[in-house]
């Protein structure tokens, strides 16, 4: 099997993809004159309309998918094919959802047409893309900067003023401006006219959500707790009672919050953002300690971020559906199923 190092020249990338496709199909590939795309490949009776992108980030993948879908209107008998330096998990999910085939320049591929079914995985380690000299120094998906993304995704169909974002996130005007600039450069948001002013609107909500998800880092764990209970629901209520009695500001997340939002099944572990140092009484009642093994309560810091979009469900303060979705992803137990349920819930709330 062929594998390639990342290349940023589209001509070289097309040549590498052509050789890889010949290797997979064991047939010659003809490169035809493109119509509204970077290339058209002909393999036997199968035609591919090809788009090359130098970035593996989800926003770039989403734009390529849109371009391929538009180009396919001019070549309706062709299957869409994306060529990319390295395909990450999020980008692959976008392509699968939209029915787009892909090859990356390491030799990995997913192609599903009437003529060919190819699934290749080889070197799947993440490739860090070089930053361009003009790129912003601010990472808009960092722990604090992502508050802007969070605020924008709460209601992505409606424009927001910068002052509104500052108020929701608690970030100062200068920092918000830098984050907004980075999101604008990345194509995640756009400016729209609102009278004499200009407001900010999310370009593609799912693209922005996926971009945050692929860079998201779970919050720092303050401590673990242990509550004697027969069910996760009992554990949840016990933790709520203890924290409420001690007047700790809080927001539940993870599988416990997902169950309240989407009705997703049973859970064992309860995860919660908590403000301030835990009193001796709280530490005692929750059997707080640094050891993870056997514990069914996880206490996080960083409550200011969890306050954004916080909701009350059945008297319980929950982190927003957006943050719950991110926290439930890859959190153990039945996290994959829960993440799918929360994603559907989030999309439904946007409608």
Q: Say if domain 221-350 classifies as CATH 3.40.50.300.
A: no
Q: For position 137, what pLDDT does the model report? A: 63
Q: Which CATH number does 146-215 carry?
A: 1.10.10.10
Query: Where do the structural domains in the chain lie, given as residue ranges?
Result: 10-120, 146-215, 221-350
Mean pLDDT of 114-138: 60
Give DSSP secondary structure letters for 22-55. HHHHTS--EEEPPSSSSEEEEETTEEEEEEE-S-
Condensed to tens digits (0 to 9), the pLDDT of residues 297-322 reads 999 987 889 999 999 998 999 999 99
Q: What is the CATH architecture of 10-120?
A: 3-Layer(aba) Sandwich (3.40)
**Is 267 a residue whose pLDDT tops 50?**
yes
pLDDT tens sequence across 152-177 = 999 999 999 999 999 999 999 999 99
**Coil, helix or strand for 229?**
coil
Q: Read off the pTM.
A: 0.69
Distances in whole angstroms, Cα of residue 2 to Cα of each of 39, 95, 121, 221: 21, 22, 11, 42
pLDDT for 330 equals 67
What is the per-residue burial (b if ≥16 Cβ within 10 Å, else e) of 306-340?
Answer: bbbbbeeeeebbbbbbbbbbbbbbebebbbeebbe
Please state the rounded mean pLDDT for residues 235-255: 94
| C-alpha–C-alpha distance, residues 311 and 263, integer Å | 16
């Amino acid at each position: 099997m062929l594998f390639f190092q990342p290349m940023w020249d589209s001509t070289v990338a097309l040549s590498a993809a052509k050789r890889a496709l010949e290797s997979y199909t064991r047939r010659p590939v003809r490169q035809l004159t493109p119509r509204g795309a970077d290339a058209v490949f002909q393999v036997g009776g199968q035609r591919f309309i090809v788009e090359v992108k130098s970035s593996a980030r989800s926003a770039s993948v989403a734009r390529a998918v849109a371009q391929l879908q538009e180009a396919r209107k001019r070549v309706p008998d062709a299957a869409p094919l994306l060529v990319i330096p390295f395909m990450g998990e999020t980008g692959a999910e976008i392509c699968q959802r939209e029915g787009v085939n892909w090859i990356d320049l390491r030799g990995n591929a997913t192609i599903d047409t009437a003529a060919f079914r190819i699934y290749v995985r080889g070197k799947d380690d993440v490739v860090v893309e070089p930053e361009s000299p003009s790129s912003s120094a601010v990472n808009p998906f960092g722990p604090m900067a992502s508050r802007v993304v969070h605020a924008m995704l709460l209601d992505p169909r409606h424009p927001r003023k910068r002052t509104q974002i500052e108020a929701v996130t608690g970030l100062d005007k200068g920092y918000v401006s830098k984050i907004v600039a980075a999101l604008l450069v990345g194509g995640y948001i756009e400016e729209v006219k609102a009278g004499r002013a200009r407001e900010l609107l999310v370009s593609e909500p799912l693209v922005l959500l996926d971009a945050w998800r692929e860079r998201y880092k779970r919050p720092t764990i303050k401590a673990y707790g242990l509550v004697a209970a027969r069910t996760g629901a009992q554990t949840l209520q016990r933790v709520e009672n203890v924290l409420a009695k001690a007047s700790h500001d809080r927001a539940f997340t993870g599988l416990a919050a997902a169950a309240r939002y989407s009705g997703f099944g049973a859970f064992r572990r309860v995860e919660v953002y908590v403000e301030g140092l835990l009193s001796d009484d709280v530490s005692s009642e929750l059997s707080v300690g640094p050891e993870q093994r056997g514990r069914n309560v996880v206490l996080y810091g960083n409550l200011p971020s969890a306050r954004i979009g916080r909701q009350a469900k059945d008297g319980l303060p929950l982190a927003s559906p957006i943050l719950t979705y991110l926290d439930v992803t890859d959190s153990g137990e039945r996290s994959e199923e829960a993440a799918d349920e929360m994603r559907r819930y989030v999309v439904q709330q946007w409608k």
